[in-house]
Amino acid sequence: MLARVQSYLLHGIDALPCEVELDVDETAMNRSGVVGLPDAAVKESLERVQAALANSGYVWPGGRVLVNLAPADVRKEGPLYDLPIAIAALMASGVISVLGKPGLARPPARDSARDSARDPARVPAAGPAAGPAPVPIEALNPRRYVFAGELALDGRLRPIKGAIAMAALAKSRGLAGVVVPRQNAAEAAAVQGIEAIGVSTLIEVVGLLNGAIAPTPHPPLDVEGLLGSAVADVDFADVRGQEAVKRSIVVACAGGHNILMLGPAGTGKSMMAKALAGVLPPLTPDEAIEVTRIYSSAGLLAGGAGLITTRPVRSPHHTASASAVIGGGSVPRPGEVSLAHHGVLFLDELAEFPRDVLETLRQPLEDHVVTIARAHSTLRFPASFMLVAAMNPTPKGDMPRGEAGRRAMDQYLSKLSGPLIDRIDIHVEAPAVPFKQLSATSSPPGTSSAQMRAQVHAARARQAKRQGAATPNARLSGRQLDTLAPLSEPARELLGRAMTELGLSARAYDKIRRTARTIADLDSADELSIEHVAEAVQYRLLDRKV
Q: In the listed set 475, 491, 521, which residue is the last one of a domain according to the structure?
A: 475
User: Residue 438: exposed, middle, or buried by beta-carbon count in 10 A (0-12, 13-18, 19+)?
Assistant: exposed
For residue 426, being part of any structural domain is answered with yes
pLDDT for 422: 85
- Answer yes or no: do 199 and 233 share one domain: no
> In this predicted model, what pLDDT tens digit does every residue of 261-313 receive, in sequence order?
998 888 888 889 888 888 998 899 999 999 999 999 998 987 777 888 889 99
- Answer yes or no: do 237 and 205 share one domain: no
- Could you tell me the CATH number of the domain that includes residue 348? 3.40.50.300
In whole angstroms, what separates CA 376 from the centre of its chain?
Answer: 24
- Could you tell me the CATH number of the domain that includes residue 73? 3.30.230.10
User: Residue 129: exposed, middle, or buried by beta-carbon count in 10 A (0-12, 13-18, 19+)?
Assistant: exposed
> In this predicted model, what pLDDT tens digit does every residue of 455-504 receive, in sequence order?
999 999 999 999 988 889 999 998 999 999 999 999 999 999 998 888 88
3-state secondary structure of 49: helix
- Answer yes or no: do 354 and 245 share one domain: yes
Q: In the listed set 475, 500, 534, which residue is the last one of a domain according to the structure?
A: 475
Domain that holds residue 397: 228-475
> In this predicted model, what pLDDT tens digit does every residue of 205-251 receive, in sequence order?
999 999 999 999 999 887 877 777 666 677 888 887 788 999 999 99
- Answer yes or no: do 326 and 447 share one domain: yes
- Answer yes or no: do 413 and 303 share one domain: yes
Exposure letters 51-73 (e unless 16+ CB within 10 A, then b): bbbbbbbbbbbeebbbbbbeeee
- Answer yes or no: do 242 and 372 share one domain: yes
- Answer yes or no: do 168 and 258 share one domain: no
- Answer yes or no: do 238 and 181 share one domain: no
- Answer yes or no: do 202 and 233 share one domain: no
For residue 527, being part of any structural domain is answered with no
pTM of the model: 0.85
> What residues form DSSP beta bridges with 10?
15
For residue 80, being part of any structural domain is answered with yes
- Answer yes or no: do 194 and 278 share one domain: no
Does the pLDDT at position 186 exceed 60?
Answer: yes
pLDDT for 542: 79
Q: How many beta carbons lie within 10 A of that of residue 442, not counting itself?
A: 4
Quick one: pLDDT band at residue 98, thresholds 50, 70, 90? low
Check: CB of residue 221 under 8 Å from CB of residue 189.
Answer: yes
Check: CB of residue 80 under 8 Å from CB of residue 150.
Answer: yes
Strand 344-348 to 386-391 pairing: parallel
Query: Residue length, the chain?
Result: 546
Count: domains in the chain = 2
Residue type, 359: E
For residue 120, being part of any structural domain is answered with yes
> In this predicted model, what pLDDT tens digit does every residue of 305-324 receive, in sequence order?
788 888 999 999 999 999 99
For residue 542, being part of any structural domain is answered with no
For residue 356, being part of any structural domain is answered with yes
Q: Average model confidence (pLDDT) for the chain?
A: 86
For residue 447, being part of any structural domain is answered with yes
The 3-state secondary structure of 496-537 reads: HHHHHHHCCCHHHHHHHHHHHHHHHHHCCCCCECHHHHHHHH
Task: Please state, in angstroms and rounded to a whole number, the distance separating the CA atoms of residues 449 and 279.
Answer: 6
- Answer yes or no: do 163 and 259 share one domain: no
Range list of β-strands (E), 233-309 = 259-262
> In this predicted model, what pLDDT tens digit does every residue of 122-167 receive, in sequence order?
444 444 444 555 555 778 899 999 999 999 999 999 999 999 999 9
- Answer yes or no: do 193 and 260 share one domain: no
> In this predicted model, what pLDDT tens digit does every residue of 344-389 receive, in sequence order?
999 999 999 999 999 999 999 989 999 888 766 788 999 999 999 9
Task: Please state, in angstroms and rounded to a whole number, the distance separating the CA atoms of residues 161 and 287.
Answer: 19
**Residue 424 φ/ψ, nearest 5 degrees:** -105, 115
